[in-house]
Amino acid sequence: GAVVSQHPSRVICKSGTSVKIECRSLDFQATTMFWYRQFPKQSLMLMATSNEGSKATYEQGVEKDKFLINHASLTLSTLTVTSAHPEDSSFYICSAREQETQYFGPGTRLLVL
């Protein structure tokens, strides 16, 4: 099956700093990638849809200026959490679509101190 990677797998940062998370489709090209967030004991929540070469579409309640998404190539999308705060601590997961199926990355655990 198709493989999606994320980097880093976990990151700890200080409050006020920015963190970049990379999502790569390793063996296929993805014009559409998705970013999700998952808090403990909750289900995944879609944050935004990332389309290669165009602006991301954000879900209601997700601040586009805080969660910057760039999808500059068919195999790479990045999520930058700007001016991170402790409440941004979460499990961030990306997915990439190949034909009619979405494949998910392993997730990035972010802890903001």
Partner 1 sequence: DAKTTQPTSMDCAEGRAANLPCNHSTISGNEYVYWYRQIHSQGPQYIIHGLKNNETNEMASLIITEDRKSSTLILPHATLRDTAVYYCFGGSQGNLIFGKGTKLSVKP
Per-residue x/- marks for partner 1, 12-51, CB under 8 A? Answer: ----------------------x-x------xxxx--x--
Distance, in Å, from the CA atom of 97 to the CA atom of 29, rounded to the nearest integer, reads: 9
**Rounded to the nearest whole angstrom, what is the least distance from the CB of residue 83 to partner 1 in the complex?**
26
CB 99 within 8 A of CB 84: no
Residue 62 binds partner 1 (CB under 8 A)? no
Which residue(s) pair with 50 in the sheet?
A: 33
Which of 88, 95, 96, 110 is close enough to bind partner 1 by CB under 8 A? 95
Which residue(s) pair with 35 in the sheet?
A: 48, 94
Question: Which residues of this chain interact with partner 1, rule CB under 8 A?
Answer: 1, 4, 6, 34, 36, 43-46, 49, 91, 93, 95, 97, 100-107, 109
